Copies of this chain bind each other. A is one copy, B any other.
Amino acid sequence: MRTFADISVSLDGYVAGPAPSLEEPLGRGGEQLHGWAFRLAAWRRPHGLDGGEDGPEARWVEEIAERTGAYVMGRRMFSGGDGPWDDDPNSTGWWGDEPPFHAPVFVVTHHARPPLELTGTTFTFVTDGVAAALAQARDAAGEGDVQVSGGADVIRQAIALGRVDELQLHTAPVVLGGGTALLDGVAPEALEIVETIGTPQATHVRYRITKTHS
């Protein structure tokens, strides 16, 4: 019953490149951050895609799905980026009719709307902040873990609230030169490295956050 954040990041610390748009919700170059996942059968299968390869990091991808009892994400991660579609009360978001989330999702947003049921998941829109979304996700997750999926601002707020036990970073061998910095403004902290998997595609590190704010 832990809470973990899991996100792909560039070598220079960005989770999205510059100038995100509806066409490029991850910004310029941002797709490259996820190349390590796209190639894995373990990632493609739940996203409705055929083929793909195996690798030592596939175990993490499977574990992440298995352990997650509920998700917390930001509005832009639900909608696919800033824009007028954000205000569409009937939008089903970026993820299509069969989203890859097989557990309840709590979306932090300023736009109140009723829960949205899609195949395999329900998106609940939480308008009173990250702490409230985390609490609702905790209740919904049961014996499972809560996954804070992004974006960077939601992860940073959850860390600042002292509510993230583990941080899983997938660092791609890419310099984006700008964009959305993951750890910008996070207070000084020492973490523990729990596990590392290095492949030619990315460096996967699981950190335990030991709550030693200095």
Contact = CB atoms under 8 A, between A and B. Distances in A.
Contacts of A29: 188, 214
Q: How many copies does the complex hold?
A: 2
Nearest to A178: B188
Contact of A187 (B173, B177, B203): B177
Interface stretch (A60-68, A84-92, A134-142, A193-201): A193-201
A188 B205 contact: no
A203 B207 CA distance: 11
Interface of A: 11-13, 17, 28-29, 32, 169, 171, 173-177, 182-193, 195-203, 205, 207, 214
Contacts of A201: 193
Given A183-B11, A196-B198, A173 B188 contact: no
A173 B207 contact: yes
A18 to B, nearest CB: 9
A186 B191 contact: no
